[in-house]
Amino acid sequence: MTQPDLARPEQPQPKAKRAASATRRRGATLEHALLDAAWDELQSSGYAKLTMERVAERAGTSRAVIYRRWRNRSELVVAAMRYRQPVLSGAAPDTGTLRGDVLALLRRASARITAIGPDTVIGMLSDLLSADEAFNQILEQLLRSGGEVMSGVLDRAVARGEARDDVSPRVARLPLDLLRYELIFTHQPPSQRTLEEIVDEIFLPLVLRIDT
């Protein structure tokens, strides 16, 4: 009696390969998956323990795929933060007064830093300081985004007759720069009292219109 050929297994591999190819992530879909994985890993493990290998495992891909887009951990985390919870995203607050607008903006930025985690921001900045090119890029982006949002706030204040129309970009960014200063040196977001001191005692005296 002829024995059945048990040594020849069924071979569905070509079909499986076709299915894998059909579901392979590319372009924006892949990038969003990587950023989601980086954000989730950041929330789960913290910045100090986040590695490209862990993010790749969480995203179901390889480290090489991540390194083709971001050169290091800090660049990946910056991208993930921008994707999920940009500190300065959203329309500039319009409370009807310059003081109210700036305080609302600082409180929103401070709340988002709290949600991200001060240690994450501090660790990221420390890594960036050791990479001149990346640091310069992030610094330029921070200055530009901070300048844009504060320009909007000041333009409304000028239209209301509250603020001078010749405020320099450096002075305009001052509240946000001081918020970052407090974060770096205290390792925690500024208190509400500190935010009010930044606005009332430092910023407003520099920009309010004084009629003579």
The top-scoring range by mean pLDDT among 55-64, 105-114, 134-143 is: 55-64
Average pLDDT value for the chain: 80
Q: Which two tokens stand for residue 177?
A: 């720069």
Higher model confidence: residue 83 or residue 1?
83
Helix axes 174-186, 132-160, angle to 10 degrees: 130
Please state the pTM of the whole predicted model.
0.66
* Contacts of 119 by beta carbon, 8 Å cutoff, 6+ apart: 46, 47, 48, 187
**Residue 42 pLDDT > 80:** yes
Rg of the Cα atoms in the chain: 25
Average pLDDT over residues 2-30: 52
Confidence of residue 67 (pLDDT cuts 50, 70, 90): very high
**Other CB atoms within 10 A of residue 25 CB:** 15
d(CA 38, CA 46): 10
Which carries the bigger pLDDT value, residue 132 or residue 211?
211
Give the pLDDT score at 186. 85
Binned at pLDDT 50, 70 and 90, residue 18 comes out as very low
